[in-house]
Each structure stands twice: as C-alpha cells, then as structure tokens.
Structure 1
Amino acid sequence: MSILGYLQNVGRALMVPVATLPAAAILMGVGYWIDPTGWGGSNALAAFFIQSGSAIIDNMGVLFAVGVAYGMSKDKDGAAALAGFVGFLVLTTLCSPAAVAMIQKIPADQVPAAFGKIKNQFVGIMVGIIAAELYNRFSAVELPKALSFFSGRRLVPILTSFVMIVVAFIMMYIWPVVFDGLVNFGEHIQKLGSVGAGVYAFFNRLLIPVGLHHALNSVFWFDVAGINDIPNFLGGAQSIEAGKAVVGITGRYQAGFFPIMMFGLPGAALAIYHCARPENKAKVLGIMMAGAFAAFFTGITEPLEFSFMFVAPVLYVLHAILTGISVFIAATMHWIAGFGFSAGLVDMVLSSRNPLATHWYMLIPQGLVFFVIYYLVFRFTITKFNLMTPGRELAVAGSEEDGEDVNVTGNKDQDVTGLARQYVAAIGGSDNLTGIDACITRLRLTVKDSAQVNEVLAKRLGATGVIRLNKTSVQIIVGFMAEKIANAMKTVGAVPASAPAAASASVAPAAGVKPQVVPQAATAATVAELLSPVTGEVVALEQVPDEAFASKAVGDGVAVKPTEKTVVSPAAGTIVKIFNTNHAFCLETEKGAEIVVHMGIDTVALNGQGFKRLVEEGAEVAAGQPVLEMDLDFLNTHARSMISPVVCSNIDDFGGLVIKAQGQVVAGETPLYEIKGK
C-alpha cells in the first residue's frame, strides 16, 4: 500500500473517536445552557451534564488509541480495540513523570515537561496504529497446544504490552524532541494569529478530497501542538480556570467555519441551481436543497462539495480560499463559537452560552454576507468559464433525461442489499474487492486493480464521484447511505463484475471486414466524428484482450494497434482526465460525448513508464492535437498488449455508432467512427 493509501486508512480510523465529540458537545452545551454564569457551580444538574461531557474530553488520548486500533484492524474486532487500550496504559504509565524520574534516576523537578503531556491524542494515534498492525499480523497465530488459550486474538493485547515497553524506552529519548517540534510548529502558527487561522482553514478544505484533513485537524483541534481548540472550547469554564483557554482566542480555528457551512455553501448551491439548464432544474433543485440543508443544520458539507469538486475544481479552490478568509475575519474580530462535530446550526446553538463564545451572533451577519459572495462568485465563474456543474450541458446523473436510472436494474425501490450488489459489480466484482469501509458520504474501498472500476455504472447507481487514489485505493461518493451500503457490501457474497449491454449494436470491423451501420442510427444526425487517435491497424472491440472492453462494459467503439508513437485527440473538446500513469485519457466533445482513449491493456501496471503527456487536464484541444507520446519499443516489450480501445463511455445517451474505419488508419486523419443522435 502506498503512503497516501496508508494515511487514508489513518484518516478514516480517526473518524471513530472523533464521532464521540458530538456527545461531549451536547452534554456540555446543555450544562452551559442550564447554568450560563455559574458553569455548574450553582446548579447540580448543570454540573452533572458538564462533568459528563468532561469525561469524554479529558480522555481523548485513550479514545484515540482505542478508536484508531479498532478502525485500522482488518476485520474491526474488539480485540484490536482492547490492544489499543492496553498499549496506551502501558506506554503512558511508563512515560509518566513519576516513572521517568524513577527509571532515569533524576529528580522529579528535572523531568522534561513533555512527559506531563504524554496522554495526548498524538500518542493515542501512534499507539492505535501499532496495536492495529500487531492485530492484523498476529491475530491468526496458533501457539503450541499447551498455550493454545492465548492463540489468535488473545495473543494481540499480550504482544502489544511487550511492544509498548520497547516503545516507551524509545519515547523516553525522542518524545521530548518530537513534542518540542510540535509545540514550535503550533507556536509558529499561533504567532501568525488570525492569519495562521486562515491559512489552516484554507488547507483544511484543500485536503478534503483525499481525506487527509483529519491529520491536519489533529494539530489545531487537539492537544498535539499546544493549541487544543475543540477540547478547550468545550471545556469552557474549566479550561479558563485551568489557564488552558483564553476568551476571544480559544475557538478561532473553528468559528469562521460557521459562516461557510451554514450560509456560504448554500449560496453556492443556489448559484449552481440557477446556472442549470431549464430542463434539469427540477432535478438539480432536489440535490442542492438536500445538500444545503445538511450543511446549514448539521455542518456536513460533503454532499455539496463533492457535487462540484471534480467537475469544476476551480470552484473548489475558490471555496477553499473563501473559507480561509472567513476564518481569518472571525478570528480577527474575536467572533467566537465552537463545535464538537461540525459548524452547523446545532453546534452554534449549543455553544452560544459557553463562556468562551464571544460575539458569536456576529457570525450570522458574516454568514449572510458570505451567502451573497458565494452566490455571486460561483454564478460568475460558472457562466464565465462554462463550467460543467450539475445540470449544465450534461444531464444530471441518474435523471430520466439522460436515460440513466439510479437503479440500473429498473427497480427504483430496490433495497440496500440489492444496491450493494450492484456497487460490488461496478467495482469489478468480488474478486477485485479486498477491503470495504465508509466515511460519512464515501465508500472507501481497497481493490486489486482500480482500473477495473466501472465509473459509468457507479454514477448510474447514484454516485456523484469516483476517486482513484492509486491502483488499489478507490473512493466512491454515495451520500449519507455510505455506511449502510458498505455494511451490505460485506454480506452480499460472491458477485461477478458488471457487463451491461451497450446501447448500440454496432460491430467494429477488423482488417478486411466491411464497415457496418447501426440501422436505427443510419439516418440520425451525427453528433461527433472521431478520427483515429494513433496510426496503426483497426481491431474489433470484441477482439480486445480485456473483458471490460470486449464486453462493452466501458463503452462502445473500436480499437487500434499502434505502429507510431504519437497519440492525438480524436475530436475537438476538453481533456477532462489524464490518468496519473499517462496511459489513458478522457475527452469530452462539444456535444457531450465522453471518449476514453486507453493505450494498451494493463499498461497501468507500468506506472507511467513508456508514456509522456503533452497536455494537462482541463486543456481545450483540437482534433488531431498531440496528447500523449509513447515509447513503443518499451511498451511492445513490457505491456500485455498494445491494442488500444477508443470508446464512447456514455453511448447510451446517443443513438449508436457508425463505424467508418477498417485496415490501416492514420492518426488525426482517418475517420474512426461517427456518434449518432437519437
């Protein structure tokens, strides 16, 4: 697994302990509402609620150890969580100030201050990762018969305790250095004041597409670099009395998110709706209203953000910039509110009587201003640059207008189990799927080969985006049903890979075979004429040595076996995707045809060797313009096959194909096939 994929797993696992924060927020929020001035000192019921919430906040380190160990274990077993708990107890006890003084034979007042902070979330994450790795490696070990009781899962907590002795010994020497480095980093950001808060918020949004924002959040929200924004804010009066919190300062890494989540993103949703084509507005309205309500009420923004994150990345960058500006303004003006889950209405109401909440109500007019800013910026950018946001140019995915039912079997009331089976099929079947998890709105999947994922089918099932992080890590954005679908996917049994029939019945001729015409498309208007992207010999799609292409699961078209190195654009349009390995690209024509040019079979395994890109994603290209350059000598030696499919992945939106080419073709000159309208 790549470093990015591993960090993805850590970020996903962090959601387990973070999910406990809403409970702390509610308990302490209710306590502060009951007794806003005495903070529990003059009301027993308020003290009851505040102390209940404190029990969670004060033990976040051990919660992180347990949660991460559980979340990263291969089968989510309780033994992994127990190992995390045992490991945290052993490590923090051995590295406590008293133990360090005794072991190192030094006076207690000479023990580095870092050991007084050993029970923090950073150490909890580290222990959780170690415990999970030990569980994944040793949970199936069988000991000799005399010790068989301690075999398997029972062995893991025992191993963890011994490993933590070694880790504790190492930590006695490196923890002070690590801690000082983290503190210096936090102090550097703190010295930037409000600007530092804005910079943090900007990168918080930018990292969301790959799920690494959780790692960044741990620095500013929890006690890793001395900032500890969320626990200190939720602690309120106790944090003030302990000198951990400062009124008007604590919470500045949170407050500015409220105007964005409650008002800014709904403004963006309104702009996207107004920019949709008239025939698509009804569908877009439902999507945008649901996303806007979720953002306003709960602070969950992924349904909205993922609706434009990939189709219009420039909008997402603008969103990140505006978020940074909002957090900067709120921090500068000392308009402070905090949250235990996310910056929605629920958390704003609960935090309003927290003694650390200052001028929190000013975040509402700030939010109204950002509603207008988001609306104007998004509407201008969408129309000025003709961005393909939901409802523009292309029909809304899953709508009746684009001919794609959300449920491709035709049963709109299908249960979650049936939907899960179809998602497994879209991912390449059970044989391609090795790991299943979910995070709020995303399926986080581990596969043998991400190239087998059928993105077209996934979107027909209702997904709003598919992210291929690398060859083995895939995320599919499915909305709030992510966890239900993921759980159902684990129990559906063996499912074959998808192979839906293509809309047209055309057959691409091999050399010496006369072109055939789809009868129903013969008299229809031509939507696009594609030229051959490479010089070589035409091969029938059915003869491509790859089932996904040969079965037309990816789309309909033909293939070419190249004899020259230059790959050109087969038509005028936009390069919407070039794979990281440069072996394939996706082109969207002016009339909305989505063309996939895939050079060779299994060439993704070459990790980019033999390919060089000549343009970048988002480029407008003319027919015949060079896009890739190949080292054919290398590729013919190392690739399984250099037969290269050229298919229309959304052929169901059109009337079919008219195949024009046979025999030898020349890049950028020979017509390959025509796409006909309905």
Structure 2
Amino acid sequence: MKKYLQKIGRSLMLPVAVLPAAAILMGIGYWIDPAGWGEGSPIAAFLIKAGSSIIGNMSILFAVGVALGMSKGKDGSAALSGLVAYLVVTTLLATESVAMLQGIDVESVNPAFEKIENQFVGILSGLIAAAMYNRFSKVELPDALAFFSGKRLVPILTAVIMLLVSLILFFVWPLIYSWLVNFGEAISGLGATGAGLYGFFNRLLIPTGLHHALNSVFWFDVIGLNDIGNFWAGTGTKGTTGMYQAGFFPVMMFGLPAAALAMYHSAKSKKKKQVASLMLAAGFASFFTGVTEPLEFAFMFVAPALFVVHALLTGISLAIAASFQWTAGFGFSAGFVDFVLSSRLPLANEPYMLLLQGLAFAVIYYFLFRFLIAKFNLMTPGREDDTDEELNGGGVEADASTHAESTGSKFFGMAAAIYEGLGGDANVTSVDNCITRLRVEVKNMGAVDQNKIKSTGVAGINIVGPYSIQVVVGTQVQFVADEIEKIRRQ
C-alpha cells in the first residue's frame, strides 16, 4: 500500500509542476495592477486570467497527470482516459444534473455537489483510468470490432466504469464531503495551533510521500479551504487566507539553508569540499525555489532525530506566522521566487515580517543543528565512516569523471556509477524518477552497493521495501535518469 501511495505522489508531481507557471503569470499581473486585479491594465488582466486558467483547473490537471503517471509505459491514451473519466463524473454529478435526477430545484441540491470538481475526484479519475489502461490496453477484439482494440478500448471502458463510479458517488460523496468538511473545520477552528499541527505533520510525511494527501485538504478546493487558490485569486480574508503557506517561507528560505551550513561546519575536514558542493546546491534550491527534498533527504535517514526537530520547527513557524497574521503564498513552494511574486498580492499581509522571522529561524536552525550533531555524534553528511574507495584514494568517483569526459555528458559518469552500485542489468528491473529522486526496483537488495552510490555525491539513499530503493539526486535527477535509461538500452 505504501508503495502504491508513493507512486501516486510521484504522479502528482507532473501537474503540481505546472503551478509555477500560474504563479509567475498571476504574480506579474498583480505586480502590474495590485489594486485593480487587472481592471486598470489590459496587460495585467491578460496575465492574471492566463494564470487563473491553470489554478482554476487543477483538478483536471490531476486527472490527466495521475492517469499518465500511474499507467504502464506513460502512454498518452491513459492521459486521455483520465480526462474522459473526470468529464463523465463531474458532468453527471454537477448541481444541475443532480437537480434533474432528483427532480428538485437547483437551490435544493446538496451543497456537496457544488464541489464535485475538486482534486479528490481528479485523482480518483486518474487512478481509475490508469487501472483500465494497465488492464485492457493490449486486449484484442474480434475482427468486426478490431478498430476499438487495445489503446482505443481504454477510454471507452473508462467512460463505462465512470458511470458506475458516478452512481456510487451520488450517494457516497455527500458523506465523504461532510467528513472532510468536519476535519478541515476542526483544524481551521484551532487557528494558529491548527496551522502549527499541519506544518508538523506536513514535514513528517515527506519520507512517505503522503504529505501530498494532507496538502490537498488545506491547499486545494477539496473541503472549501483552497488556501492557495483563494490567496492568489484574492477571494479570502486578509491575514487569514494563506496561513497554511506563510510559515513555510522562514523555514525553506532561511532555516534549512542554515541547517545546511551547520552540517557543512560539522563535517570532517577532509570531506568539507564534497559536503560544501552538496549543501550549497541543496541550500540554494531550498532558498530560491522552495524545493527542500535534496537537503531533507541528506539527513532524514542518517539522523532521524534531526528530521523530527525540523518538523517541530516547521510547525512552530506556521503557528507563529498565523498568530501574527503574517501571510504570503506560493504557486509551487515557499522559495524566494514565490515570495517576491506573492508579496504584492491583495491578501499578502505584512509579508516582509516573514523575512525577519526567517532570520531568527536561521539562527535557531544553525545553532540547534550544530549542537545536536556534536552532542549525539549524528552521522550527517561528511561525518560518516570512510568507505573502502575513499581509503584507497579513488574508486567510483574517479571512474565517473573519466566516463563523463569520454561521453561528453557530465551526468553520464554519475549515472554509470549509480547504476553499477545498484547492481546493473543483472539486478535492476525498473528505473523511474520524481522531481528529485530516482525510484528503482531491484531483484536483490543485498546486491546493492550503497557506498558506491554514495561516493557519487548523491544527497541520500532511502530503502522503502525489500525490492524498492530511492536515490536522492536533486533537481537534476531527470538528466541522470535519462543517462541510466541509455545505459539500460545498450
């Protein structure tokens, strides 16, 4: 089950990655006309509407993205089936359709159906479409119906299945919606404390990928909170809307880069150069874009106590920002780019106070991490025992440089060394990647040489099952994955 949920989280990365485009468009539009929201400038109106076309249709993006990501072969017909599935259920369960089915006035329809076009239904549609593709994409029909065989059959069967799903949701969705509303109200009713609890569990769930499920409740329009959408659309309450986003800025822009500096200063002298390159890249990614996985995976498994401390500090940061009603928002993550773009939005409330809070958190992160690392001798990057290759003065890292020079690709050497460490063709059964990690299936975990993989400078290794391993490369993981795929095809 955990593996399946992680695959869902990876599939969601494709549609989520589109959100920065909306953030840039809407942010520039509001920057041009922050008061009129486009009324005072045709250019601003053009940009804002273009951005809202993405924000307002996230559920469709989720349906298509999940269907594509969960299907074998990542085929386009699976994505089309995801769209078909979503259109069937949302049309049948739209308020007007439900009114006709029940023979009542539109005003009397359960309000749950007003929210049927949400991310939950989008994800559900994508999952069903992917399952139909994986099961029926190779089915051969009799000659008279041969045109509809294989991949052409998938959207048709998906539409039929969604008729049954729509019937079930007709009765179940109001109950699900009520439970989600109650859950959201319970958290939102706790005010700053609720924001703090959300921040804490958001970080704790990062290793499993289940933080996406938690985020969907608060960030998107599943239960009506829609913190991201409302903040960027300006349809909320100043000082309140954005409370589930604002507290991440001090952590991602300041706290985690300071933790990276602490881990660099705590590394062994002979390993500082290697650690410096890792921490500089990961810290910059966290500050500039809000992508924190390269940095978090560098210590969450080798020093889990530090990761719990990080989660606690994140919760405290969200609680503080919410208490003082300092708000800013993001389209992708809480980095510098989104902070600048959101700082002039109508619902941004004293956003620059988040920078002062961030400076304070940088000090706390730095000294707390350094103290805990030294006090408990935590094996953060650069403090681990020397590998055999390092003791012998070379090994995989040197070989990687040679490979890179001979092929002309700076990623080939790293990819070749990682693939060799994974056991090569004899052991690797599949390779995939998300935004920062290689996700690999192997035949025998005992054949994996973790020291050889770590010697390439990766941020971390996560064994998630008896046959599943993740290699945290960073934001350039796509290029490494491409090179590994070339090696596998040779």
Relative to the length of structure 2, the TM-score reads 0.95
Deviation at residue 260 of structure 1 after TM alignment: 0.5
Alpha-carbon displacement from aligned partner over 1:548-572 (angstroms, at most 9, x marks no partner)? xxxxxxxxxxxxxxxxxxxxxxxxx
Structure number with higher strand proportion: 1
Q: Determine whether 1:177 maps to 2:172.
A: no
Identify the residue that residue 376 of structure 2 maps to in structure 1. 385
Which of 351, 358, 375 aligns to 1:367? It is 358
1:200 Cα shift?
0.8
Q: Does 1:331 align with 2:336?
A: no
CA contact under 8 A between 1:91 and 1:165: conserved in structure 2?
yes
- Kept in 1: contact 2:255–2:361 (CA 8 A): yes
Deviation digits for residues 47-96 of structure 1, max 9, x if unmatched?
00000011111111111101110111111111011000011111110111
Q: Which of 443, 461, 465 lines up with 1:466 in the alignment?
A: 461
- 1:413 is paired with a residue whose SS is helix
Equivalent pair of 1:397/1:460 in contact (CA under 8 Å): no
Structure with the higher helix share, 1 or 2: 2
CA distance in 1, matches of 2:431, 2:400: 23
Q: Does 1:477 align with 2:468?
A: no
User: Retained in 1: the 8 A contact 2:138–2:150?
Assistant: yes
TM-score by length of 1: 0.69
Aligned pairs for 1:29-108 within 5 A: 29-108=27-106
The code of the aligned residue for 1:28 comes to M
Following the alignment from structure 2 to structure 1, what is the Cα–Cα distance between the partners of residues 43 and 116? 33
Q: Distance in 2 between matches of 1:430 and 1:156?
A: 32
- The counterpart of 2:188, out of the listed 190, 193, 218, is 190
- 2:27, 2:342 within 8 Å by CA — same for their partners in 1? yes
Q: Which moved more, 1:203-212 or 1:402-411?
A: 402-411
Structure 2: how far apart are the matches of 1:126 and 1:170? Answer: 13
Change in Cα spacing, 1:219 to 1:483, as seen in structure 2 (3 Å) is same
1:319 equivalent among 310, 319, 327:
310
**1:274 is aligned to 2:272:** no
Q: Please say which of residues 441-450 and 337-346 is displaced more in the overlay.
A: 441-450
CA distance in 2, matches of 1:418, 1:381: 35
SS in 1 for 2:488: coil
1:308 equivalenced with 2:299 (yes/no): yes
Deviations 1:557-602 (A, max 9, x none): xxxxxxxxxxxxxxxxxxxxxxxxxxxxxxxxxxxxxxxxxxxxxx
Q: Which residue of 2 aligns with 1:553?
A: none
256, 260, 265: which one aligns with 2:251 = 260
Q: Distance in 1 between matches of 2:478 and 2:384?
A: 32
**SS where residue 438 of structure 2 aligns?**
strand
The aligned residue for residue 448 of structure 2 is 453
**Counterparts of residues 89-488 of structure 1 (less than 5 Å):** 89-236=87-234, 239=235, 245-392=236-383, 394-395=385-386, 403-406=394-397, 408=399, 411=402, 413-414=404-405, 415=409, 416-417=411-412, 419-488=414-483
Task: Measure, in 2, the Cα distance between the counterparts of 1:92 and 1:316.
Answer: 40
Instruction: Name the aligned partner's letter for residue 245 of structure 2.
Output: Q
Q: Is the 8 A contact 1:390 1:396 kept in 2?
A: no
2: CA distance, partners of 1:159 / 1:429? 39
Note the C-alpha offset of 1:494.
5.8
Residue aligned with 1:289, SS: helix
Residue 417 of structure 1: how far off its partner (Å): 4.4
Equivalent pair of 1:261/1:295 in contact (CA under 8 Å):
yes
CA contact (8 A) 1:255 1:336 kept: yes
Deviation digits for residues 323-359 of structure 1 (CA, Å, limit 9, x no counterpart)? 1100110011111000011111110000011001000
Q: Partners of 1:404 and 1:327 in 2: how far apart?
A: 45
Query: Which whole-Å CA distance do the structure 2 matches of 1:131 and 1:90 have between them?
Result: 12
**Greater relative contact order (CA < 8 Å, ≥ 6 in sequence):** 2
Question: 3-state DSSP class of the match of 1:36?
Answer: coil
Opposite residue 114 of structure 2, the aligned amino acid is G
In structure 2, the residue matched to 1:557 is: none
Q: What is the SS of the residue equivalent to 1:461?
A: coil
* In the alignment, structure 1 residue 490 sits paired with structure 2 residue 485: yes
- 303-312 or 344-353, which deviates more: 303-312
User: 2:470 & 2:433 partners in 1: Cα distance?
Assistant: 9
Q: Measure, in 2, the Cα distance between the counterparts of 1:360 and 1:473.
A: 42
Range moving further from structure 2, 258-267 or 291-300: 291-300
- DSSP-derived class of the 1:437 partner: strand
Post-superposition offset of 1:365: 0.6
Q: Aligned-pair distance for 1:100? A: 1.3
What pairs up with 1:568-587 in 2 under 5 angstroms? none
CA contact (8 A) 2:400 2:414 kept: no
Q: For residues 45 and 376 of structure 2, what CA distance do their matches in structure 1 show?
A: 56
Could you tell me which runs of 5 or more consecutive residues in structure 1 were left unpaired when the two chains were aligned: 240-244, 496-678
Output the aligned Cα RMSD.
2.0
CA 398–261 in structure 1, closer or farther in 2 if over 3 Å, else same: farther
CA distance in 1, matches of 2:188, 2:291: 27
Provide the C-alpha distance between the structure 2 equivalents of 1:450 and 1:5, rounded to a whole number of angstroms. 16
Deviations along 1:623-661, one digit per CA (max 9) or x if unpaired, are xxxxxxxxxxxxxxxxxxxxxxxxxxxxxxxxxxxxxxx
Q: Alpha-carbon deviation of 1:419?
A: 4.1
CA distance in 2, matches of 1:188, 1:200: 12
1:159-202 Cα deviation digits (max 9, x unpaired): 11111111111110000001111111111110111111111111
Q: Where does structure 2 lack aligned partners over 5 or more consecutive residues?
A: none
Match of 2:10 in 1: 12
Measure, in 2, the Cα distance between the counterparts of 1:410 and 1:307.
Answer: 23
